[in-house]
Amino acid sequence: MKTLHLALILLSLSGVLTQDSGWGVKYTDNLTSAVRGSSVSIPCSYYYPTSNIQVTQRLWCSMNSNTERCTAPPYVYNSASNTTSDFEYVGDDKSNCTLLIHNVQFSYSGEYRFRFITDVPNGKWTGQPGVTLQVTDSENPKDLENLDRWSVWMIVGVTAGVIVIVSVILGAAIYIRSSQQLTSGLCLRKGSLHESGSVHTVQQKEDDSQVYANVQQTEDDHNIYANV
């Protein structure tokens, strides 16, 4: 174990502590995107030469507010702190360093890097370059553009439909009103003709009665004259 520690110290001092020496961090993707308000996972794994080494601290930093090797705070995640935030570490202290970000905001856009520290002197590693997070309002910018176009066409279509429906209703109302007026006119005309015919009939009857009366009166007069 002392030999391993000494070798690590020598490699560190000589600048030869690289992935070839068995140290490293791997990200599944170097670029990921998320919709604002959603959650996004940044898959990550890390490794070191032997299982005898213990990981004592795990860190995630945002390059918007940290240095190249994440050597100083602030950190978006620090295993040595109990602070609760939108940045949740869902990995372990062995090999998984996955970070889960909740309620993603535009301010979360940027590059993120993972750093782990072990119980071996100078046994520290930062995975670089890290993962760049892009935050948008849509899963696909083209989808947002298509959605805007679809909204415009929907508005146009609904407006046209309303105009057609209103036109049909107005046309039907005008037609019904015209039909009612025409029917009322015909009824009034028939009523006038019927009334006129009735008056004529009554008048005719009155005239015939008068003629009969005159004739009867003449006959009576004649009879009176003859009797005398």
106-124 confidence digits (pLDDT tens): 999 999 999 999 999 889 9
Looking at the chain, the whole-number percentage of residues with pLDDT higher than 70 is 62
Predicted pLDDT of residue 52: 87
- Assess whether pLDDT exceeds 80 at residue 42: yes
Shared-domain flag, residues 119 and 63: yes
Look-up of token digits 């030999």? 3
CA 115/CA 127 separation, integer angstroms = 6
pLDDT at residue 9 tops 50: no
The answer to whether residue 124 sits within a structural domain is: yes
Quote the pLDDT of residue 37: 95
Domain count, the chain: 2
Residue pointed to by tokens 């979360």: 108
Say if residue 155 is in the same domain as residue 86.
no
Pairing verdict, β 77-78 and 124-126? unpaired
**The domain containing residue 184 runs over which residues?**
140-193
94 and 152 fall within a common domain:
no
Instruction: Give bridge partners of residue 107 from the DSSP assignment.
Output: none
211 is a domain residue: no
pLDDT at 212 over 80: no
- Per-residue pLDDT, averaged over 71-89, amounts to 93
Do 172 and 107 have their domain in common? no
What CATH number does the domain containing 40 carry? Answer: 2.60.40.10
Model confidence pTM above 0.85: no
CA distances from 68 to 26, 65, 101, 182 (A): 17, 10, 21, 91
Band of pLDDT at residue 209, cut at 50, 70 and 90 = low
**Residue 167 counted as domain residue:** yes
pLDDT score of 181 more than 80: no
Considering the domain boundaries, does residue 25 fall inside one? yes
Least confident of 63-77, 100-114, 116-130, 182-196: 182-196
60 occurs within a structural domain: yes
Give a yes or no: residue 128 inside a domain.
Answer: yes
Residues 160 and 133 in one domain: no
Q: Are 43 and 152 contained in the same domain? A: no
Q: Per-residue pLDDT averaged across 136-159, rounded? A: 64
**22, pLDDT greater than 60:** yes
